[in-house]
Amino acid sequence: MSEPRSAPTVGQVVLGRRLLDLRESAGMKREEAARILRVAPATVRRMEMAEVALKIPYLQLLLKAYGVSEEEADAFVLLAEDANKPGWWQRFHDILPGWFSMYVSLEGAASLIRSYEPHFVPGLLQTEAYARGVLQSGAIGQTRPDDIERHVDLRMRRQELLTREDAPRLWVVMDETVLRRPVGGPEVMRDQADRLLDAAELPNVTLQVAPFANGPHPGTYGPFVLFRFAVPELPDMVYSEYLTGAVYLDARAEVATHLEVMDRMAAQAATAHRTKEILRDLRKEL
């Protein structure tokens, strides 16, 4: 049996989709592929859905059956070996839920991240003290000091992607509530405002605040994140979190609806320039 993972790497997701495409192009059903491997059809499905690590012997048998050339198969296997390596975040497996491991993997592979946040500053833009204050509130369901510090460490590590060489574009719309909800006291909030102002100067970061005065907007149902990727095998994907887990949506209609809502919110919110003024005014109030 293939070895399970708490959450797949993006490389496994991409190769799983490629494997599915190769099988379908070969005109082969999952049951036929399963007979080649002498496994249940569910095992083939789990490989294609990146629910298990990609076992190299299985891959070699399937690629040959699908009519893939020896050179292409060798290249596929090399990619699979690399994809099977644990992501850096998996060292936090003791405190990181499986449903959020996938988020961190997608976040690191995205070329564009669009986020709507009605409650807190997005994790990629939080200061260490602000993050600690949010986590101490029990927002993630854990309050043990050691676990909280591990979560803070993970959150700070995630932020490194914003300044790396191939950094994604981050476009955030936050409700004014985010800025008005005190976390950790005035000093923490002042530092957090400074952090947002610094982030807004990055060429790959766009921040917008949706002021109270603008009234309701179409995204008031809850926070969500939209990912876009450079690799064609990965479609746009939406992440939506609830109290004890999250859902990942990649159906075209669902993603299109979220994208339309995000565009409407961005058009209605304060501009990036006006948002900087709002942050500076808030900074003076604190």
pLDDT digits (tens, 9 = 90+) for 74-87: 989 998 998 888 88
Averaged pLDDT of the chain: 90
Q: Are residues 108 and 234 in contact, defined by beta-carbon separation less than 8 angstroms? A: no
pLDDT at 82: 85
Asked whether residue 2 carries a pLDDT value surpassing 60, the answer given is no
CA 261 to chain centre: 19
Stretch 258-263: mean pLDDT: 95
Asked whether residue 13 carries a pLDDT value surpassing 90, the answer given is no
Tokens 């876009």 appear where? 228
Asked whether residue 233 carries a pLDDT value surpassing 80, the answer given is no
* End-to-end C-alpha distance for the chain, whole angstroms: 58
Comparing CA positions, the residue from 59, 16, 54, 15 lying closest to residue 36 is 59
Pairwise pLDDT comparison (170 vs 53), residue with the higher score: 170
